[in-house]
Amino acid sequence: MRLVFAGTPDAAVPTLRRLAASDHDVVAVVTRADAPLGRKRVLTPSPVAQAAAELGIPVIKADRLDADATEAVRAVEPDLGVIVAYGGLVREPLLSLPAHGWINLHFSLLPRWRGAAPVQRAIIAGDAETGAAVFQLVPELDAGDVFSVLRTPVPGDATAGELLADLAVRGAEVVADVVDGIAAGTAVAQPQVGEPTFAAKLTLEDGRIPWTDPREAVLARIRGVTPEPGAHTALDGARLKVHAAAPAPDGSAALAPGELALVGKTVQAGTGSEPIVLELVQPAGKGLMHAPDWWRGLRAGGRVVAS
């Protein structure tokens, strides 16, 4: 089949590469326009655009799938559209333009966590299991019939970034199998079953560490917002980012929620239950560092309180 692929971030690249290596022909890639990155705000192609250039696939850059983007896709005469984390909605007439419509790789067990941040929300909520689903795109958000599902336990120490990277690689194989099935006429999609939940896009406020919550919820929040938007707390009016944390050893002395103290060779923080150990932190305007090194530079003495 002739495929058009739409995607933008790193999580979409494994599927693009897998389809480019298949028996099908990826005739065009749709991705968002170059974005300013870094302190110098240098315009940089998306990860998908860079991969497409390496693969020699024509690229259509569009921040919205508007009339111009639709005509560009129409010109390549696709049989099927495949979308992975493009960052925009596919509406009519583009939705019905390919003969077989569009399929979407979504990183959740639909209908749980429809929306923009499924992996992050699954970790924050403490879900024991998550996965990826390939479904038929329809006008309603992430509501189409499902062709195939990948299920996996949520590792207790995985960040959202790590789990998403794993699902992106494994999900690429699921997409390839579904595309083969559609081409052969053997693919069958089933309606979603269950009560939908929604995964709203994360904001900076979602990264604020809720110190009064129980320890497991605090750790889940930190992992769920890493790397973006990042876990953070306020210390003497300055933002402190927390990149990695772990449960404190059993028997550690109690600390008030948000209270930080040097315990032995570790920096511990109080929660609504047991304390946690801060492992990697980033003070405002500085680079990543081990928490004990940061503490020594802080010259805080005994204890400080974050909020």
137 and 252 housed in the same domain: no
Within 10 Å of residue 63's Cβ, how many Cβ atoms? 13
Give the number of domains in the chain: 2
210 and 194 housed in the same domain: no
How far is CA 81 from its chain centroid? 21
- End-to-end alpha-carbon separation of the chain, Å? 55
Helix (H, G, I), strand (E, B) or coil at 248: coil
Residue 302's pLDDT is what?
A: 59
143 and 193 housed in the same domain: yes
The pLDDT tens digits for 48-105 are: 999 999 999 999 999 999 999 999 999 999 999 999 999 999 999 999 999 999 999 9
171 and 235 housed in the same domain: no
Place of tokens 């925009």: 88
153 and 212 housed in the same domain: no
Q: Residue 266's domain is classified under what CATH number?
A: 3.10.25.10
Q: Tell me the C-alpha distance between 59 and 7, whole Å.
A: 11
pLDDT in tens, the chain (307 residues): 999 999 999 999 999 999 999 999 999 999 999 888 877 788 899 999 999 999 999 999 999 999 999 999 999 999 999 999 999 999 999 999 999 999 999 999 999 999 999 999 999 999 999 999 999 999 999 999 999 999 999 999 999 999 999 999 999 999 999 999 999 999 999 999 999 999 999 999 999 999 999 999 999 999 999 999 999 999 988 999 999 999 999 989 899 999 999 998 999 999 999 999 999 999 988 999 999 999 988 866 556 777 6
Provide the domain limits for residue 46: 2-199
pTM over 0.85: yes
189 and 301 housed in the same domain: no
Q: Tell me the C-alpha distance between 296 and 284, whole Å.
A: 16
How far is CA 41 from its chain centroid? 23
153 and 257 housed in the same domain: no
160 and 262 housed in the same domain: no
- Region of 163 please: left (phi>0), alpha (psi -120 to 50) or beta: alpha
Which has the closest alpha carbon to 116: 86, 74, 161, 95?
Answer: 86
Of 172, 199, 226, the position where a domain reaches its end is 199
Of 163, 184, 199, the position where a domain reaches its end is 199
Number of H helices, E strands in the chain: 7, 18
